[in-house]
Structure 1
Amino acid sequence: MEDPRASNDPTIRRVRHEMMRRELTVSAVERITPAMVRVTLSGASLASFASASPDDHLKVFVPGADGEPVGRDYTPRHFDTEAGALVIDFVDHDAGPAAAWARTARAGDTVLVGGPRGSAVIEGDAIARWLLIGDETALPAIGRRIEEFGPGTPVTSLVAVAGPAEEQTFATAARLTARWLHRDPGAAADPAPYLAALETMEIAHDTFVWVAAEAEVARAIRRHILERGHRKTWMKASGYWAAGRADGAVKNLEDAA
């Protein structure tokens, strides 16, 4: 017999955007935590910028090891089309050309940004609460989503970072419960801390679960939640990076076991 809840399942609406590359100017650089650099970009071409979902991706093109441009995926943390401003948060880590660029960026520098190509908008009147799970790379999307929730929306975040200094605060009207997991950055590809924390948490059937972390970590979290009986239509899981692979994102783990 068909589950009667299925008719109330959330949907993901795909929105396409005009693909554009914009040359933008750095207007401000701020280190918001020891390992997170916030870069504000400006330019008149941002008047047509569109991002309909907090977990959208754009490409930031920076010099690679050989000096040739390489593109890396980042989240539009905040944007203001009227002001012509776009904010991107960069995790400062030893490997990666985009992190190296952000670490030395100064006001007046220019950078090429492409996209977003599209948005995946999660919709559903039956969603009563949210659970957002991720690591440092997911924090820009998690933070933006938390800040964009309507007043009183129940939301729990479960985020792994290197320590208390990497925790962030968010200005939000939502009813937020923030849980932080502290682990060494070298253990970022280990799902164990998340799984242990999830064992202590109830996940109501009307909770939409959003997951983004290292690909195998996100896959393990997704499997754990499905094994608890949560419907896969009430979850979106992505691998924002893959251990040992440059630019190894797995945007959608929907078909994963």
Structure 2
Amino acid sequence: MTGTSAAARSSRESTTTRMPRVQDFTLQVCATHEAGPYTRLRVRCPELLNPRKSDELLPTAWLRLLVPDGGRQHQRGYTLVECDHRTGEASIYMLHHDPAGPGSRWARSARPGDRIDAQLLAGQLYLQPPPDARALYVGDLASAPAIAGAIAAAPASCDIAVVLQAEPGSWSPVPHTACTLTVVSPDAGEDALIEAVTTIPGRDYAWLALEASAAQPLRAALIAAGLPRDAVQYQGYWRRGTPMGRTVETSARAAA
């Protein structure tokens, strides 16, 4: 996951996680469940998920999983949601693709008791909407879990609208009862997405998480429509045709 944010850059003191650059953890799978186009994994890691570390995990926080596949480890980023710092558990929604990648294959084969290495990277940024904000979240099925986590953490007084780029009828973890949801088919193109986003009235906060080439034009369109520049956060959540992470030989990592 890549990206930047004018608002987050200007508010680094209050929104940057404070931790070593990379922290290593091991997650244990507690339960698995097929949910629409995702496998929902309930995982446990008391070293990461506990009351002392709760301030380090901002809404939309993600881990880099080291997914084992064919004698290699593939780095893939996934958002932690539904965190319970009392039990040390959280959920990860792993989106399936066609053709299936290493993350998808591993998720579908995972069973309770399985373990996977993970890394938490420092410098993750997220600026929470203030109370009474008219917030707008824009994403797709890859970023929908992060949007769901952000909505759950937002002040209850916020008026939340979500525009999701997905096929009509697709299931996602975005809570329909907590927001006004608009779905735009990916086949409709960039102009349709921009129109859907810029015609939602009265927004004063926006968080965008889309394919990298789509995020910045959408931010520019919102600013042109009158949203203050420092009220828009955006991330290139994935890159078309390019894995978001390195692949290393398992033996090479063990030697390192």
Q: 1:89: how far off? A: 0.9
Contact 2:17 2:57 in 1 (8 A): yes
Q: 1:170: how far off? A: 2.1
Gaps of 5+ in 2: 1-9, 246-256
2:90 maps to: 86
Letter aligned with residue 115 of structure 1: L
Contact 1:52 1:121 in 2 (8 A): no
Report the secondary structure of 2:143's partner residue. helix
- Cα 1:171–1:201 shift into 2, 3 Å: closer
State the distance in 1 between where 2:154 and 2:120 align: 23
- Cα 1:154–1:14 shift into 2, 3 Å: same
Q: 1:200: how far off? A: 3.0
TM-score by length of 2: 0.79
Percent sequence identity over aligned pairs? 25
State the distance in 1 between where 2:176 and 2:183 align: 17
**Within 5 Å, which residues of 2 pair with 1:1-257?**
11-12=11-12, 13-18=15-20, 19-33=22-36, 35-46=37-48, 47=50, 49-50=53-54, 51-64=56-69, 66-93=70-97, 94-123=99-128, 125=130, 128-168=133-173, 170=175, 176-183=179-186, 190-204=189-203, 207-247=204-244
Q: 1:69: how far off? A: 1.2
Letter aligned with residue 107 of structure 2: A
Report the secondary structure of 1:132's partner residue. strand
Contact 1:129 1:153 in 2 (8 A): yes
Contact 2:131 2:155 in 1 (8 A): no
RMSD, aligned α-carbons: 2.5
What is the CA deviation profile of residues 128-186 of structure 1, one whole-angstrom value per residue up to 9, with x for unaligned ones? 221000001110110011112222311101111223132445287x5x212222345xx
Letter aligned with residue 73 of structure 1: G
The alignment of Structure 1 onto Structure 2 pairs a total of residues equal to 229
TM-score by length of 1: 0.79
Contact 2:24 2:117 in 1 (8 A): yes
Report the secondary structure of 2:67's partner residue. strand
State the distance in 2 between where 1:81 and 1:180 align: 33
Letter aligned with residue 197 of structure 1: A
Report the secondary structure of 1:244's partner residue. coil
What is the CA deviation profile of residues 50-97 of structure 1, one whole-angstrom value per residue up to 9, with x for unaligned ones? 443222221111124x52212111111122222021211111112431
Letter aligned with residue 11 of structure 2: T
What is the CA deviation profile of residues 92-125 of structure 1, one whole-angstrom value per residue up to 9, with x for unaligned ones? 1124311221122111211111114244241575
Q: 1:49: how far off? A: 4.7
Report the secondary structure of 2:170's partner residue. helix
1:253 maps to: none
